[in-house]
Amino acid sequence: MAWNPLLKKSFYVVAAGAWTWALFLVLLLNPWFQRHALYAHTIHSGFWHNVSNPEEFGFAKGQVQPFTLKTADGESLFCWHVLPLDVYLEHENEIVQKTTGLVEDLKETVGYRILKKDEGSKVVINFHGNAGHVAQGHRPSTYRSISSIPHTHLLTCDYRGFGKSTLLKAPNIPTESGLITDGISLINYILADLGHPSSRTVLLGQSLGTAVTTASALYFTDPESTLLPTDITPPQDAVQSKGGFAGIVLVSPFPSLPVLLETYRIFGILPILSPLRGYPKIAKFVNARIVDRWPTLERLTALLAPSGKGDSRGGSGCDGVRLTLLHARNDQDIDFRLSEDIYATLESQILSSSSSSESHSHSSVLEERRSIHGGERVKRGAFAYRRVEDAESTKNDGGGKSVELEIVRYGGHNEVVGFAQVSLAVRRAFREAEAEAEEGKARFRVGLDVE
């Protein structure tokens, strides 16, 4: 039988594609290759861009102070301290005159002095996604949008092996425990070394950064948690923050890496494990060989568990958690339904834990949703918006737990980080935390901060 040449050609193209995918899958079974594919830390634009010169990325002279942060296991992370514009304007002359390049110690800088002196200063700690450096792609747009929030400083680092950060420790490749060590080191640096209170700190993560954020937040609530890798290296002076942070904002999160890989598409096109859906045995075999599993949903569940306040044994959970999940409906890399799955689990956890206490009538759920074609039920202009809060949270006296889910219409996987919705989520967290602090002062409550 003679084949139509076009048909023959397309057959070869499809066959070649299938073989390439199969080869990629076999390579993925190797932990070294798997981690390279997951973290993609070697892919960045450091050859064209100079992250030590933040003006290249649209910041005012001296607005961003690059500095290095040492981890307890001997890595040097390359970090940025971004000043808010209102504070910058107020101290412009001094900042411009004293601006330097990369410094070894942030405490010697003008920016640190301003942060410290200002009693109303707030900090956003940012954790970026995989691949690239601190200023890759849309990342600077996040920092610029946060820097327009009054008195709000942003600190962010490249994880080990990313950008200009070192990777001296064996196996010389980013790992789950390595990245969590970096996350804990940065948070602890701000809380313990810089002495900034956790109640005026928001943790913000995107994509892979949501997994780092969650694991790090769990460490500060329950350092002994069995959900954390055993080989993380926390700083010697690590503090605890049972009272929790002003807020945790997760943009494009996923429940765990194995769950993500079931639907993930590279660049929104190339599937990884989804073609295996018809072959559960092979899928299970591959799944069992994923080395860094990033169980974010389990860690969030632990974070939202009862805190054991007033109980001498103490529960594993945090006293107060204000969690926002944000996801774009047109995210091609990570499906927004994964955020809905996370939310659904956390909502039923909060509802069941408050229904077992006597105050369940105070816990509340709000759900707003509209169809793709319209409908005006959703006040925030989102595609879907849901919120659950427990009884403690509605008392508004510091403590209590709330989880919000906002599915926004636009922004995709990466661009959304600079969108207004992210900045608004951060502002809401600070506003609610401030209201609680006021209320707390009135009642002489203590123990909100680490200090």
> Interface residues with ligand NAG (CB under 6 A)?
50, 52-53, 101
By DSSP bridging, strand 270-271 and strand 320-328 are unpaired
User: What are the Cα distances from residue 211, in Å, to 65, 142, 171, 186, 207?
Assistant: 26, 18, 21, 15, 7
- Angle formed at CA 234 by CA 233 and CA 239, multiple of 5 degrees: 170
Which of residues 52 and 359 has its CB atom nearest to ligand NAG in the complex? 52
* Residue that has been written with the tokens 């196996």 in this structure: 171
CB of 65 to ligand NAG, least distance (A): 11
Cβ atoms of residues 343 and 253 within 8 Å: no
Which of residues 65 and 181 has its CB atom nearest to ligand NAG in the complex? 65
- In sequence order, what DSSP letters do the residues of 191-240 get, joined into one string? IIIS---GGGEEEEEETHHHHHHHHHHHHHH-TT-TTS-TT----TT---
CB of 356 to ligand NAG, least distance (A): 57
* Residue that has been written with the tokens 């981690």 in this structure: 35
Which of residues 54 and 178 has its CB atom nearest to ligand NAG in the complex? 54
Which of residues 52 and 352 has its CB atom nearest to ligand NAG in the complex? 52
* Residue that has been written with the tokens 């919000």 in this structure: 404
CB of 256 to ligand NAG, least distance (A): 39
Which of residues 79 and 286 has its CB atom nearest to ligand NAG in the complex? 79
Helix (H, G, I), strand (E, B) or coil at 115: helix
CB of 66 to ligand NAG, least distance (A): 8
CB of 84 to ligand NAG, least distance (A): 22
CB of 82 to ligand NAG, least distance (A): 16
Q: How far does Cα 255 stand from its chain's mean position?
A: 13
Which of residues 53 and 330 has its CB atom nearest to ligand NAG in the complex? 53
Helix (H), strand (E) at residue 39 = helix 31-39
Which of residues 166 and 287 has its CB atom nearest to ligand NAG in the complex? 166
The Cα–Cα gap between 249 and 262 comes to 24
CB of 20 to ligand NAG, least distance (A): 37
